Every structure is written in C-alpha cells, then in structure tokens.
Amino acid sequence: MSRYIPLSIPNFEGNERKYVDDAIDKAWVSTAGSYVTELEKRLAQFLCIDNVSVCQSGTSALHLALVEAGVVPGDIVLVPPLTFIAAVNPVRYQFATPLFIDCDDSLCMDSEKLRRFCQEKCVMENGHLTHNGKIVRALVAVHVFGNMADMETIMEVAGRYNIRVIEDATEALGTRYTKGTYSGKYAGTIGDFGAYSFNGNKIITTGGGGAITAKKPETVDHLRYLSTQAKDDPHFYIHNEVGYNYRMTNLQAALGVAQMEKLTEFIERKHRNFDLYKKLFHGFGLGKLLPYREGTYSNQWFYSLIIDRTKVKAALKEIIAGLQEYGVETRAVWGLINEQLPYMKEECFELEKGPYYGARVLNIPASTQLTEDDIYFAAEKIKAVLEELKE
C-alpha cells in the first residue's frame, strides 16, 4: 500500500476507551456526570486558574463570551480577517457588527494597528469607545495555530479604551508566556474571557466540545448557568434569564479527561516534530517555517510553511494537489473572512498582511503520531513539489 500522511488526526492512545465505557456502564451520558466536573477541574489545574466551564464547542464558548461581555445589537466587535470563521460568526449571532483588523507576522491581531484604529478612527463618548456612533464593545484575539497574540499591547490598548478582550484560544491550549508581564500565563487566561475547543483536529479532542473561562470565577459560574438553560431552580423550572443548551455531555468529557492526561506529551511531540521540520527546511529557498512568538512556549499545534512567491507562483491549490498525489495531505490557510459572502460588506482596517499570508501559508502534516520517518518523507515531498512548480 502506498504511503499516506494525513494533515492532522486525533490520537487516542490513552484511557479514552476505558473512560467512555465507564460513562456508558454507569449510564451517565448527558450533561450531568462526574467526567464533566472532572474535566473542568483538570483544565483549571493545567491552566493555573480557579474556574473553567466546559461546553459543546469552541463556537458556543465564544458566543457565551460575547453575551457575557454585554455585546448587544449594533455594537462593533473587532475581529481578525485570517482565521477560522467560527471566531467571527458568533458576533452576528448577537446582531453585532464585526470590523476586521489586520494580522501581524505571527498571523494574530496586529496590536499596533489595533492601537491606531482606536486612536485615529474612534472617539471616547460617555466612557465608551465609539466608531461612527457605534460602541466598540469587544475584540476577539485569536491565537492562530497556537501562536500567542501580542497580549501585552492588546491588553494595554483594550484597557485604555474600555474594550472587552475575548481570547480565542481554541487552537492554543497549552501556549503560555515565559517572559514579560504575563510570564507563566496561559493563552485564554489573560483577557476578560478565554475560549477553548476540543474539536476533532485540535490538540486534544472530545469529538466536539469546548471550554470557557473568565477573569473572575463568579463570571465563570454565570457562564455555566447560561450554558445550562439558566436554570434557577432544578425542581420547579424557574428561569430568570435566557439560557442556552451549550453544556458538554459526560460522554464527551470522558474522552476529554483521557486526552488531558496526554496533553503535555502531545505538546512535546509537536515540538519534537517541528524541530525536525525546521532542520529539514533549513536553507530551503522556496519556503520558510513560520516561527512562534519569542518569549512564549507555544503548543505548536499547526505548522505553517510560507511559500516564497517570487520563486513559486503556482496557486496553493496546485501545490496541495501535487502533494496529494505523493500521499502528503496539506492545507491552504483559510480564505479571508472579510471576503466571504456574509462579511464582504463589513469594514476593514488596513488589511495588508492578512491577504499577504492568505496567499502564501501552507499547513503541513502535524499529527502527534508522526514518526521521524514520516517527517523526512513529508518534507522531501513538499520540497520536491515546490521545486517542480518553481518558475
């Protein structure tokens, strides 16, 4: 059989089966169940925080964050153009308006452009930053591919202009600062809210699932309440707010607890694999690996090869198809969100790096199961295809 290297697949080498079987044996499969609270406990421990609430998806975590941040119809929420669209859709669930701020060379929000947008395009009115009369209520900072956004500047700017910071850490569970103001702090625990995802291709998975945290533990309690239909009395069905059916199930959480036991090891494997890729692409003229931010320890969830467009002009589609024939699955970075049909008419601020990287970033195989041999194979084929397509 010919060899095939997938881009990113889940890894169930641990206690997954045992815990899921246990949940089934005990017939605790719904949202009440000991694995749900156990997963919350382990996440909080890992992230060095007091309170985390698990939910059905990263998207639902982001939606809850926007609700709790007080985003109401007509508000503006600052969002990135180059990421997975789930980071932006919940803004529309609240009937608010997304406004796109460019990314920097880490693919995360450009903090200096954020500062300039606030300074030059907005005014303070009654304690709120406004743009064309609309309140800029919140921003969504995505830690793209496990790379930490520049939280130092983002927090400073957001503080000055009274903007709530929602960290989309769906791709960055385990990424943390090792230097500076936030040394020791994990992605998702710095802003007002942090959202995580356990979708099938994330660093750990529960099939589908997510988690949310907030600065104050009481806020997380309220988020948990909102995620369980805002039930105020379990026996008499009293509900004093509009809630959601966003709680994680015990079956998902059973998987999650087993995955948490492997998280540190998964991150170490991602590092080992990235280091080998780095060695193999060293001195290669047609593409470079995107580094992770200095002063951080990234979970290195996904690897990005930046194609040199002065030498390789072929579309990403062509490169991906070429590699597919060699048995190596790769992926183009996302299509720009501001160019998608539902968002084409929204305002953008100085988009330049977003489109630049959008046309150049190729994601290469990054599963935790990859062997050294797989990586040699993948790197060799990637180089070969780029050489073939060189002008």
Ligand X SMILES: *Cc1c(COP(=O)(O)O)cnc(C)c1O
- Where does this chain bind ligand X (CB under 6 A)? 57-59, 83-84, 86-87, 142, 168, 170-171, 197, 199, 210
Phi/psi of residue 363, nearest 5 degrees: -90, 135
- Is the Cβ of residue 79 or residue 286 nearer to ligand X in the bound state? 79
> Would you say 246 or 377 has its CB closer to ligand X?
246
Beta carbons within 8 Å of 265's beta carbon, 6+ residues apart: none
Query: In sequence order, what are the beta bridge partners of 193?
Result: 166, 214
DSSP string, 92-135: HHTT-EEEEE-B-TTSSB-HHHHHHHHHHH-EEETTEEEETTEE
Closer CB to ligand X, residue 59 or residue 189?
59
Write down the least CB distance from residue 214 to ligand X, Å: 17
- 208/355 with CB nearer ligand X: 208
Q: Shortest distance, CB of residue 199 to ligand X, whole angstroms?
A: 4
Nearer to ligand X, 33 or 90 (CB): 90
CB 65, min distance to ligand X, A: 11
- In angstroms, the Cα distances linking 36 to 40, 185, 200 are 6, 24, 18
Cα–Cα–Cα angle for 294, 300, 302, nearest 5°?
A: 125
Query: With respect to ligand X, which residue has the nearer C-beta, 173 or 214?
Result: 173
What is the closest distance, in whole angstroms, from the C-beta atom of residue 96 to ligand X in the complex? 17
Packed helices 151-161 and 111-121: angle between N→C axes, nearest 10 degrees: 20
Q: Which helix (H) or strand (E) holds 389?
A: helix 372-389
Write down the least CB distance from residue 3 to ligand X, Å.
28
Q: Which residue is nearest to ligand X (CB)?
A: 58
Q: Report in angstroms how near the CB of residue 246 gets to ligand X at its nearest.
A: 11
| C-alpha of 102 from chain center | 17
How far is the CA of 134 from the CAs of 47, 81, 341, in angstroms? 35, 20, 23
